[in-house]
């Protein structure tokens, strides 16, 4: 009788090398500069506790009325519209490292000033500067990925960044909620410390990736604004951003309007982070094999389905299902959007192109509460069906834009 080999893995244990292969397919082959950026982004998001709890800080700690708090938060929104176009200019003019590190240090300094501000005038001024500095780093970070990562791997790289951001944000929401209930002062120091860590890490560990002076040609935001394909794409992102932001602007109001508690809203939004963390590693590495416009159109369509589910929801489970479906669309949209911008942008204008798409997101976020609350007054069904229609229009627009994007991508690959 032959001897039974007991040297292999036990039942239920992973085979040797299986985990290594799993990680290699999803995360292998990316340059060291990307992983420094990835790690810094994770730490930065772990410390990003002020913005989600700013309204609670202003009302609970500073004693502002709800109406005044709304106006102060609107000032943050106005500043944020300026943030990324300015960051894009800085990234192209002075380099990715200067823009990212400078943006992070400026944001950290502003957070400390805001945490120690006492008068309403100073609070408003700090909140406006906070809006300007909060995303000042983002165009430089997106351009850095496009500079350092080969085109074939960019969709996967941007997906991994999305995963790190959501992982950090999910932890920050839990920790920040606990700290906010104890006065909130520590929130500002932790957030500022995370900003400083991220900025200095990039400065010390990542070489400048901006094209050398001899490789750069003249260009400005006028060049970007003459790019019809880019403008059309930015317009589609504005439409989707209006819908995306309803999860924060009107979903809690819609849920409380059906006698659901704020804790039910927190539970529903927790579904979003869990799905991104669980699903993105499973599909992120596969997206590069598909046409980007079709991936985006699919994402917009899935988001439309999620909003259609919200139109019929009246209980926590229904809203959780709506968020779960919308999140699947979000994963596709966020993973591919930055890769599309990288395809469209000349290397020396990547900062400005990312600044424009960032402005598109900011514009959508600014419009969202204004439009959403008015639609909600008419009825929650009207709000969610309008969002459904906007997503379907974005999907149709993306498919119409697809031939132009393909020609640009093919032309860039041939040069």
Whether residue 55 has pLDDT greater than 50: yes
The C-alpha atoms of residue 251 and residue 18 are separated, in whole angstroms, by 42
Q: Report the alpha-carbon distance of residue 343 to residue 296 in Å, rounded.
A: 14
**Which of 110-114, 239-243, 346-350 shows the lowest per-residue confidence on average (mean pLDDT)?**
346-350
368 with 101: CB under 8 angstroms?
no
Q: What was the pLDDT predicted at 5? A: 44
CB 147 within 8 A of CB 97: no
pLDDT at position 12 is: 47
pLDDT value of position 7: 45
SS3 137: coil
pLDDT score for 183 = 65
Neighbours of 128 (CB within 10 A): 19
* 84 touches 355 (CB < 8 A): yes
In which residue are the tokens 């997106």 written? Answer: 142
Give dist(CA 139, CA 86) in Å, integer. Answer: 9
pLDDT at 136 over 80: yes
Range of 81-90, 98-107, 178-187, 260-269 with top mean pLDDT:
98-107
pLDDT 10s digits, 181-228: 666 788 899 999 999 999 999 999 998 888 765 545 567 788 889 999
Q: d(Cα 207, Cα 245) in Å, to the nearest integer?
A: 35
DSSP letters spanning 107-121:
HHHHHHHHHH--SHH
Cα–Cα distance, 189 to 111 (Å, whole number) = 8
The residues, any chain, with a CB within 8 Å of residue 152's CB and separated by 6 or more, are 288
DSSP string, 171-232: HHHHHHHHHHTTTSHHHHHHHHHHHHHHHHHHHHH----SPPGGG-----HHHHHT-HHHHH
Residue % of the chain over a pLDDT of 70? 88
- Average pLDDT over the chain, rounded to an integer: 85
The pLDDT of residue 8 is above 80? no
Which residues lie closer than 8 Å to 121 by C-beta, 6 or more apart?
A: none
Distance CA 337, CA 331 (A): 10
- Residue 13 pLDDT class (50, 70, 90 cuts): very low
Range name among 64-68, 339-343, 396-400 with the lowest pLDDT average? 64-68
Cα angle value 366/370/375 (rounded, 5°) = 135
Report pLDDT for 199: 94
Q: How far, in Å, CA of 162 to CA of 166, rounded? A: 6
Do 123 and 117 meet the contact criterion of CB atoms below 8 Å apart? yes
pLDDT at 381 over 80: yes
- Percentage of the chain surpassing pLDDT 90? 43
Per-residue pLDDT, 412: 65
Which of 108, 114, 109, 86 has its CA nearest to residue 99? 86
Which of 185, 388, 198, 197 has the alpha carbon at shortest distance from 306? 388
Q: What is the C-alpha to C-alpha distance for residues 112 and 192, in angstroms, rounded to an integer?
A: 7
Across 17-31, 108-122, 159-173, 399-413, which has the greatest mean pLDDT?
108-122
- 138-148 vs 154-180: helix axis angle to the nearest 10? 150
Q: Tally the C-alpha atoms within 13 A of residue 272's C-alpha that lie toward its C-beta.
A: 24
State the Cα–Cα distance between residues 342 and 335, nearest whole angstrom: 12
pLDDT at 273 (0 to 100): 81
- Going by C-beta distance under 8 Å and a sequence separation of 6 or more, which residues neighbour residue 324? 271, 272, 275, 306
Half-sphere exposure of 263 (CA within 13 A, CB side): 0
* pTM higher than the cut 0.85: no
Nearest to 341 by CA among 272, 248, 409, 265: 409
Residue 22's pLDDT band, with cuts at 50, 70 and 90, is low
Q: Are the C-beta atoms of 140 and 93 separated by less than 8 Å?
A: no
Calculate mean pLDDT across residues 82-107: 92
pLDDT at 2 over 90: no
Per-residue model confidence (pLDDT) at position 218: 60
Q: Among 13-27, 139-153, 260-274, whose mean pLDDT is lowest?
A: 13-27
More confident residue, 21 or 158: 158
Lowest mean pLDDT among 71-80, 307-316, 329-338: 71-80
253 and 408 Cβ atoms separated by less than 8 Å: no
Count CA atoms closer than 13 A to 309's CA, side-chain side: 19
Cα distance between residue 408 and residue 397, in whole Å: 17
- pLDDT on residue 414: 60
Confidence grade of residue 3 (pLDDT, cut at 50, 70, 90): very low
Contact 187, 176 (CB under 8 A): yes
Q: Which residue has the tokens 């439009």?
A: 371
List pLDDT tens digits, range 277-307: 888 888 877 888 899 999 999 999 999 999 9
């Amino acid at each position: 009788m032959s001897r039974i080999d007991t040297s292999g893995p036990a039942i239920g244990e992973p085979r040797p090398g299986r985990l290594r292969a799993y990680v290699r397919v999803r995360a292998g082959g990316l340059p060291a500069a990307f992983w420094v950026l990835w790690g810094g982004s994770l730490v930065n998001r772990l410390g990003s506790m002020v913005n989600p709890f700013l309204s609670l800080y202003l009302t609970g700690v500073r004693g502002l009325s709800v109406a005044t708090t709304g106006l102060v938060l609107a000032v943050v929104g106005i500043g944020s519209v300026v943030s990324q176009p300015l960051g894009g200019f800085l990234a192209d003019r002075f380099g990715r490292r200067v823009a990212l590190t400078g943006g992070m240090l400026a944001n950290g300094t502003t957070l400390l000033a805001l945490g120690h501000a006492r008068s309403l005038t100073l609070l408003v001024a700090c909140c406006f500067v906070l809006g300007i500095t909060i995303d000042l780093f983002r165009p430089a970070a997106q351009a850095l990925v496009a500079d350092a990562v080969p085109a074939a791997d960019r969709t996967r790289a941007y997906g991994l960044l999305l995963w790190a951001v959501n992982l950090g944000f999910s932890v920050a929401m839990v920790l920040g909620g606990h700290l906010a209930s104890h006065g909130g002062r520590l929130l500002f120091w932790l957030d500022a410390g995370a900003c400083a860590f991220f900025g200095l890490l990039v400065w010390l560990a990542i070489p400048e990736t901006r094209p050398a002076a001899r490789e750069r040609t003249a260009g400005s935001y006028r060049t970007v604004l003459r790019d019809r394909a880019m403008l059309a794409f930015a317009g589609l992102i504005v439409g989707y951003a209006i819908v995306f932001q309803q999860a924060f602007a009107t979903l809690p109001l819609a849920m409380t309007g059906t006698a659901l508690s704020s804790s039910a809203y927190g539970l529903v939004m927790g579904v979003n982070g869990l799905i991104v963390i669980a699903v993105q590693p499973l599909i992120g590495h596969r997206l590069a094999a598909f046409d980007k416009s079709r991936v985006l159109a699919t994402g917009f369509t899935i988001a439309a389905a999620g909003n259609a589910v919200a139109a019929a929801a009246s209980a926590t489970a229904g809203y959780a299902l709506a968020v779960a479906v919308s999140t699947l669309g979000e994963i596709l949209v966020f993973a591919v959007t930055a890769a599309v911008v990288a395809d469209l942008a000349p290397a020396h204008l990547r900062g400005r192109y990312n600044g424009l798409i960032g402005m598109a997101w900011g514009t959508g976020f600014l419009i969202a509460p204004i439009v959403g609350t008015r639609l909600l007054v008419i009825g929650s069904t009207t709000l969610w069906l309008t969002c459904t229609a906007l997503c379907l229009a974005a999907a149709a627009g993306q498919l119409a834009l697809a031939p132009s994007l393909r020609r640009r991508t093919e032309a860039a690959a041939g040069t």
